[in-house]
Amino acid sequence: MQLTVWTYEGPPHVGAIRVATALRGVHYVLHAPQGDSYADLLFTMIERSDKRPAVSYTSFLARDLGADTAELFKEQARAAAERFKPQALLVGASCTAELLQDDPGGLAKALGLSIPAIPLDLPAYQRKENWGAAETFYRLVRGLAAPYAPGPDEELSPRLSDSPARANILGPTALGFRHRDDLQEITGLLERLGVEINVVAPLGASPADLARLGEADFNIVLYPEIADIAARWLERTFKQPTVRTIPIGYGATRDFVREVAELAGVDPEPVLAEARCRLPWYSRSVDSNYLTGKRVFLFGDATHVLGALRVAEEEMGFKVVGLGTYSREWARDIRAAATERGLTAVIGDDYLEVEKAIAEAHPDLVLGTQMERHVAKRLGLPCAVISAPVHVQDFPARYAPQMGFEGANVLFDTWVHPLMMGLEEHLLGMFREDFEFHGEAGPSHLPAGGRRATAEADEAPAETTVAVAAAPGQPAWEPAAEKELKKIPFFVRGKARRNTERFAAERGVSTITVDTLYDAKAHFGN
Amino acid sequence: MSGPAACQTPPEVLHQRGPHQMFCGLTGIVWLHRKIQDAFFLIVGSRTCAHLMQSAAGVMIFAEPRFATAILEERDLAGMADANEELDRVVGQLLERRPDVKMLFLVGSCPSEVIKLDLDRAAQRLSGQHGRPILSWSGSGLETTFTQGEDACLAALVPHLPALQEGEAPGLLVVGTLPDVVEDQFARLFEAMGLGPVRFFPGGRAEAQPPVGPGTRMLLAQPFLADTARLLEKRGAERLAAPYPFGEAGTTAWLKAAADAFGVEPGRFDAVTAPGRERARVALARHRERLDGKRIFFFPDSQLEIPLARFLSEELGMAPVEVGVPYLHRTLIAEDLARLPEGVVLSEGQDVEKQLDRCLAARPDLTVCGLGLANPLEAQGLSTKWSIELVFSPVHGYDQAGDLAELFARPLIRRGLLKV
């Protein structure tokens, strides 16, 4: 048993629902007790879908347990096939039904439906959401495309030299972080390169579309967590090469364009030359100087963390001080990236461990999931979201891709914004004791009578006369040292305070004087 | 008001069975852990249970909540002895980290029930080891729907309630989780009537639960407490029949049931309740204009549907088309049922596809349903009110009557405002 409050991923059947819902003409019949339908509201509320997800639950109750549940499953599968008229049915069990003796695959087969019923075996006590999505997509691709696979000795007919290259885009699903806009961005890039899109899957694909995946010249995997296994099977079966560069950030998008162009046999340079990406100039503009060496902590799914890593270092000039992922399947890549930088990766889904690692790394910016957003809030750190799981605000109405050249623009704004906010807060803090901006001052556009009398005592310390302890067991600040600290530019004041306290604690100094402050400054070198 | 009122034409009841769109009882933990402030709720279940709690609790999950899930893993399913040892380990780990926890609930789930993990015995065993009460109840979807989780939790607490002391006045017991602000309002009204002592169950702290015994009169504040009421009756409590305290009329009738049982003079009752009744009437009048004559359809969710349909029809002039309930406890709901207008269809249980067909065919002005259905129905041109809010917001009593009406009026006001 594992004691858990927060979980980064849902159970594997939620991944299957994401794939079923992304597709057209596919319905998932899930053998599950009453209550498991809670998953529907992830789609209808977080993604704000105007349709119910493509899933029916058998909703068995205690009184159905026994021989009855198999019959119930058959009844519901038949009813769902009739009502939703899908071209293919997915059948499977949720965690509770996995413990029963019913076999959804066999039961569906016994129904003799006129459409294919594809059984899903998703071990709920070992695996999680992304694995469930990947497995479901793989089963569907295999089930529907295999009949069109060439025989062992059959030669695939080569593409005519004057016909445009065709690619499949694999990976976007329902409830995917920015999948909708990433797809639009990448589709645009392919159009400009003159590459035809054969099939996008799962998002928007029908079973008939999946059956003709083999007709493409190559595959583009946008989200390996979901499409990697399917792409590997297509690679083996149809000899389709795979584009594996994830176009997150300016540099990666250029690499992606070159990789696609090479497989398509076209010249990438015109597309690269006309690319309208503001990130490079914005990042070089003097206003961005203050971003240099900002300490950043990265956590999320492996794809987005690796994408963000390159952007952070090469395109923003940040220093990565910690990274990790909850995607155990991709732990090796993340560990390697961490080792290269002399860091230890946080792998796993215990958010308390992630919180500890963030606190210890003292970052200036946290890039993570909604969980890290809350951790950062608690620690008073700026934060931006780069990966699922996300809440409703990260399924925005506006165009907001993460991938491609526009995605790079979005990343620049999204990451810098909380830092600017941080600066603003510091400015307000710095001016708090100013004659115009103190806590009692009313808004400047109102007459003097509009000054409000705040009931709460201003947080700004008045002349402190006694040394104030930072925390029990921590060194205390002498008033003079505290005053001197305030003369340090506000944007490094926090770091100076931390460094000084650490310096004092390490040397057993119990009271921090002005000298301690400058000793620490000399020691740490800035 | 005592005794069930006769229903002239018993409404037609559709018994439904099929796919459900309802929560399981685990969701009750979301508000129960806010109420019993030193208790911890440990679900023994799967990743699905943890995922549900996270989805239901929203941002609450980040505030060091007093609930968690012990997620069963492959090796726990191998053999029973192992699962019990694992549970002991997890409970030890938890109580070490949260020594402030005064009472622990082991909450059963579908997986723990299917593998027949005996949480009752585990609770007994662990109580001895950890020197604090450890109880168990089931919040599984197999056994419970949404608010029934609270019933299961309170029913587990009943045997642990202290007995009335020799010479202690049995008084009035108000049963069902209410927001503190509502509890205080009711306490003030009862006090002004000179009625008491009045105690609330569940109490705010684990070890300060109210006593019960022969002579205790109980007033249910929530309609979904069948097992709890039955067990309290076994301990000698006597249930006062009343409609539930929604709106001006519902609250008055509910208070009156207690007043009559305790022999409060009618004049005094009127004097005490007059200001609240007047405030509620003023607040409701604002919304009546908008809601009067509007047809409303309830999907089953919390068992609050019948009392709410009573409130909306009797006090605001709405016309219920179909009122769906997960379970229909005729005795507990008799007074509200009798006040429903003629021609209402009641449905118990659910086949969600057929119910959607009925709803779309009826095209009600307002549909009360869960979040899984609300947006899809809006997209089809229906106005909806999502039902969970009715469980999480303060809605009982005189001073919340206007707020309760507003919850139903707001989607209609919004529909009128938007020009997109």
A contact test, residue of B62, B72, B147 with most A CBs within 10 A: B62
Residue B151 burial (CB count, 10 A): 25
Q: Is B413 on the interface with A (CB under 8 A)?
A: no
A512 — pLDDT class (breaks 50, 70, 90): very high
Residues from chain A that touch B76, judged by Cβ atoms under 8 A, are 1, 125
pLDDT per position as a tens digit, B287-334 = 999 999 999 999 999 999 999 999 999 999 999 999 999 999 999 999
Answer yes or no: is pLDDT of B280 > 80: yes
Residues from chain A that touch B83, judged by Cβ atoms under 8 A, are 1
What's the average model confidence in pLDDT over A392-404? 96
Is residue A174 in a domain? yes
Looking at A128-132, A205-209, A404-408, B4-8, which range is the least confident one?
A: B4-8
Q: Which position has the token pair 């290269």?
A: A340
Supply the residues of A annotated as catalytic: 287
A contact test, residue of B60, B109, B142 with most A CBs within 10 A: B142
Question: Residue A386 in contact with residue A368, Cβ under 8 Å?
Answer: yes
Distance CA A503, CA A524 (A): 9
Q: Is A402 on the interface with B (CB under 8 A)?
A: no
> Could you give the residue ranges of the DSSP H alpha helices within A213-364?
224-238, 250-264, 269-274, 279-284, 302-310, 331-340, 351-361
Tokens of B319: 């016309």
Answer yes or no: is pLDDT of A288 > 50: yes
pLDDT score, position A459: 38
Answer yes or no: is pLDDT of A94 > 70: yes
Q: Which residue in B has a C-alpha nearest to residue A375's C-alpha?
A: B62
Are residues A45 and A98 both part of a single domain? yes
Is residue A353 in a domain? yes
Are residues A292 and A199 both part of a single domain? no
Q: How many structural domains are present in chain A?
A: 4
Q: Is B375 on the interface with A (CB under 8 A)?
A: yes
Residues from chain A that touch B21, judged by Cβ atoms under 8 A, are 37, 40
Looking at A294-298, A326-330, B7-11, which range is the least confident one?
A: B7-11
Which one of A4, A41, A50 has the shortest CB-CB distance to B50?
A: A4
Is residue A263 in a domain? yes
Is residue A157 in a domain? yes
The whole domain housing A358 covers 284-417
Answer yes or no: is pLDDT of B184 > 80: yes
Are residues A172 and A109 both part of a single domain? no
Are residues A123 and A152 both part of a single domain? no
Residues in contact with B128: Cβ distance below 8 Å, sequence separation at least 6, in sequence order: none
What's the average model confidence in pLDDT over B20-35? 94
Are residues A299 and A411 both part of a single domain? yes
At A516, which CATH number? 1.10.8.550
Annotated binding site of B for [4Fe-4S] cluster: 24, 49, 110
pLDDT score, position B419: 92
Average pLDDT taken over every residue of chain A: 89
Distance CA B138, CA B156 (A): 9
**Of B314, B326, B324, nearest to B358 (Cα)?**
B324
In B28-133 the beta strands, taken as DSSP E runs, fall at 39-45, 67-71, 103-108
Residues in contact with A339: Cβ distance below 8 Å, sequence separation at least 6, in sequence order: A345
Are residues A218 and A294 both part of a single domain? no
Looking at A170-179, A231-240, A344-353, which range is the least confident one?
A: A344-353
C-alpha torsion sign, points B305, B309, B312, B314: negative
- How many CA atoms does the CB half-sphere of B420 hold within 13 Å? 1
pLDDT per position as a tens digit, B151-172 = 999 999 999 999 999 999 999 9
Is residue A40 in a domain? yes
Is residue A405 in a domain? yes
pLDDT score, position A486: 82
Answer yes or no: is pLDDT of A155 > 90: no
- Boundary of a domain, candidates A387, A417, A447: A417
- Boundary of a domain, candidates A96, A127, A158: A127
Is residue A265 in a domain? yes
Is residue A437 in a domain? no
Are residues A154 and A58 both part of a single domain? no
CB contact under 8 A, B47 and A7: yes
C-alpha torsion sign, points A421, A425, A428, A431: negative
Are residues A220 and A341 both part of a single domain? no
Are residues A295 and A409 both part of a single domain? yes
DSSP result, B357-387? HHHHHH--SEEEE-HHHHHHHHHTT--EEET
Q: Is A339 on the interface with B (CB under 8 A)?
A: no
Question: Residue A385 in contact with residue A298, Cβ under 8 Å?
Answer: no
pLDDT score, position A445: 57
Which one of A2, A39, A59 has the shortest CB-CB distance to B20?
A: A59
Distance CA A44, CA A109 (A): 31
Question: Residue A152 in contact with residue A24, Cβ under 8 Å?
Answer: no
DSSP result, A32-84? -BTTGGGGHHIIIIIS--SS--SEEE--B-GGGTTTHHHHHHHHHHHHHHHHH
Crossing angle for the helix pair A404-430 and A490-506, to the nearest 10 degrees: 80
Q: Which residue in A has a C-alpha nearest to residue B140's C-alpha?
A: A35
pLDDT score, position B15: 94
B22 to chain A, closest Cα gap in Å: 6
Looking at A421-435, B100-114, B181-195, which range is the least confident one?
A: A421-435
Are residues A160 and A195 both part of a single domain? yes
- Boundary of a domain, candidates A275, A309, A342: A275
What's the average model confidence in pLDDT over A184-199? 97
B75 — pLDDT class (breaks 50, 70, 90): confident
> Is the backbone peptide bond immediately before A224 cis, with ω within 30 degrees of 0?
no
pLDDT per position as a tens digit, A226-277 = 999 999 999 999 999 999 999 999 999 999 999 999 999 999 999 999 998 9
Give chain B's domains with CATH numbers.
25-144 (3.40.50.1980), 172-266 (3.40.50.1980), 274-418 (3.40.50.1980)
Question: Residue B395 in contact with residue B406, Cβ under 8 Å?
Answer: no
Are residues A326 and A377 both part of a single domain? yes
At A123, which CATH number? 3.40.50.1980
**Of B25, B44, B100, nearest to B303 (Cα)?**
B25
Are residues A302 and A402 both part of a single domain? yes
Distance CA A69, CA A75 (A): 10
Tokens of A414: 């999204």
A contact test, residue of B375, B378, B382 with most A CBs within 10 A: B375
pTM of the model: 0.90
